[in-house]
Structure formats: structure tokens, C-alpha cells
Structure 1
Amino acid sequence: MKSRLLALSRVFHALSTAAMWVAGVGLVAMTVLVAYQVYMRYVVNASPPWTEGASIMIMSWFIFLGAAVGVREKFHMGFDVLLYAIPKARPFLRSISDIAIFAFAFGMIWYGGELAIRGAGVRIPVLGLPQTFTYLPIVVSGVLICLFILERMALRLAGEPVDNDTIESSVNEA
């Protein structure tokens, strides 16, 4: 059982790495698009109308993918304040935090999915894409966050040291 969890954890690590790469490429692409738009507007005096919409679309993707990776790497969405006050309750507090994050991510899937479905028949004028693409990053990020939190909770139940991080190390040293 534990070996299967660890193998699954390696798969999630690869998924997290891929999401981070896609987010990084998106950040670079958005930067290039904005630079192109500025050049076209102020030098050529003919700004293409699609660059702003495309930049915003790309930005929503890299923000939400980065948030999902941040959850897996414990850089995002956590409630660490009580760890300083009650260090012995660390596993319980981490579990409560994970449940809250899972619930929030499930809400992202549910309500983001509703928005994506409603936007399927509407086109974004300057891009020609269905409005679903505006809300899809919310759903994809929610799915990734749920998977990463379930992974963490399963590893914790299997006895793996998933709660060891820099905050807890500083709590133990104090």
C-alpha cells in the first residue's frame, strides 16, 4: 500500500512539475504578447485587438496552475498560525487545513464548472474562443488541488512525514 502511494506521489510530482512548466511558459508568452502590444501601439500606432484578451487568458492559466502547484509544495493556502501556539496538535491542525483547502478546491470545480458550461455558447469576440476557456483554469486548478490534497492526506495516514517543512522546523527549534 505504502509503495503504491509513493509511486502515485511520483506521478503527482511529475504532474506538478508539468503544470509549473506550462505556467512558466504562459508567463513568458504573456510578457511577449504585452511587449508586442506596446510596440504595436506606440511605435507602429496600430495595436492588434486580440493581444489584451489573449494576455488575460494566458494570465488566468498561469495564476491558477501556479496556485495548484503552490498547494502541493506547501507554498500556498495554508493555516499555519496555530502551529506556533499549539505545536503538539500539528497533525490534527494540518488535517483540518487540508480538509478546508479540499472543500475550497471542490467549490472551484463545482462553481467554475457551472460557469464553464454556461459560457460554452458564448464567444469571446476578439479571440473567437468559447467563453468556457475563461473559466476552465478554475476547474483544472481545482481538480489539481483536490488531487494534491488527497495525496497529502493519504501519505499522512500512511505515516509519511508530509508535515515536515520549514515552519515546523522553526517551531521545533524555538
Structure 2
Amino acid sequence: MQDSMKGLARFTGLLARAALWVAGTGLVLMTIFIAAQVFWRYILNDSLTWSEPASVMIMGWFIFLGAAVGIREGYHLSFDILLYVLPDRVKSWLHTLSDFAVAAFGGGMIWFGSSLAYKTAGNMVPSLGISGAFDFIPIVGGGVLVVLFSAERVLRRIAGLPTARFGDAPLEE
């Protein structure tokens, strides 16, 4: 099982790295779009109507992709004070319970994000000329990664492989 888990870890590691590249690129693009809007508005006395909605849409991508990678790498929020006094076996069970709760939240992101995307698919974002569903697709994509990365954490624990925790070095693929 450890060999198959190492293969899964390589795959999810590549997926996490790609998600971080997309998120980082989105952050840079958003910064460029906002800077261009400021230049156009205050220097050229004109306005780019597409820069604000495009920036908000891009922000959704880098927030949800970055959050999912944070879950894989153990940087998500947690309340660990009780874990300092519990035996390792109990800690493992509580971490697994936490991973299931996070996966359930990711499932909610998929379900409700899909519902929102479906309900707004017929609407158009006027300044971009695209479907309103594009505003909610990052929630679905982030939810898929949250579920996948949470499942990986549980499976790693079952296989006896380490999982990342806040402050640890990133997982090796």
C-alpha cells in the first residue's frame, strides 16, 4: 500500500504544484489588471470596464486553489491545544476526523458551487461577455482539490506515511 500511496503522493504533489503556479499567475495578473485600471483612470482619465470583474474572478481562483494546497501541506486552520496532552494514537484519530470534516466541507463546496454555477450559467457578465457561472467555477475546482487532498492525508495516515503539519517541511513526493 505504501508504494501505491507514494505514486498518489507524486500525482497530488504535481497537482498541488500546478495549482500553486496557476494561483501565483492569477495573483500577478490581478495585480497587473488593477495597476492598469489605476493608470487608465488617473493618468489617462478613462476606465477599463473589464479590469475589476476580471480581477475578482481571478481572485477566486487563487484563493480557492491556494487554500486547497494549504490543506495538503498542513497549513489550514486547526485547534491543536488538546493534541499536546493526548497519546499519539488518539492524535492520529483526531487528525483523521479533522480530515474527514475538511473533506465534507470540500464536498459542500462542490455541491453548492455547482448549484450556483448552474443557476448563473444563463447570466452574462456584461463587461467580460462571459457566463456568470465563471464566478463560481473556482469554488467547485477548489472543492475537488480539498476533497482529493484530504483523502490523500487520510490514506497516507492509514499507510503509515507522514502527513504534513503546520511548521513541518513540505511533503516529499
Whether the TM-score (by the shorter chain) exceeds 0.5 is: yes
Using structure 1 for the length normalisation, give the TM-score: 0.91
Taking structure 2 as the reference length, the TM-score comes to 0.91
Partner of 1:7: 7
CA gap 1:166/1:31 in 2 versus in 1, 3 angstroms: closer
8 A Cα contact 1:53 1:127, kept in partner: yes
Question: Which protein, 1 or 2, shows the higher relative CO under an 8 Å CA cutoff with sep ≥ 6?
Answer: 2
Q: Which residue of 1 aligns with 2:76?
A: 76
Aligned length: 167
CA drift of 1:18 comes to: 0.3
- The 1-side partners of 2:98 and 2:143 are apart by 16
Code of the residue aligned with 2:16 in structure 1: it is S
Q: CA RMSD in A?
A: 1.5
Write out aligned runs for 1:148-163 (5 A): 148-162=149-163
Counterpart for residue 17 of structure 1? 17
Shift of 1:105: 0.6
* Residue matched to 1:146: 147
Letter in 2 for 1:58: I
Deviation per residue, 1:90-122 (Å, 9 max, x gap): 101101110110111100001111001111111
- Judge conservation of contact 1:79–1:97 (CA < 8 Å) in 2: no
One-letter identity of the residue aligned with 1:16: A
Instruction: Give unmatched runs, 5+ long, in structure 2.
Output: 169-173
**Paired-residue identity, %:** 49
- How much has 1:165 moved relative to structure 2? 5.7
Deviation at 1:78, TM superposition (A): 3.1
1:1-174 equivalences in 2 (<5 Å): 1-88=1-88, 89-162=90-163, 166=167
- Deviant stretches of 4+, over 4 Å: none
Alpha-carbon distance in structure 2 between the residues aligned to 1:10 and 1:72: 12
Following superposition, the deviation at residue 85 of structure 1 comes to 3.8
Structure 1 unmatched runs, 5+: 168-174
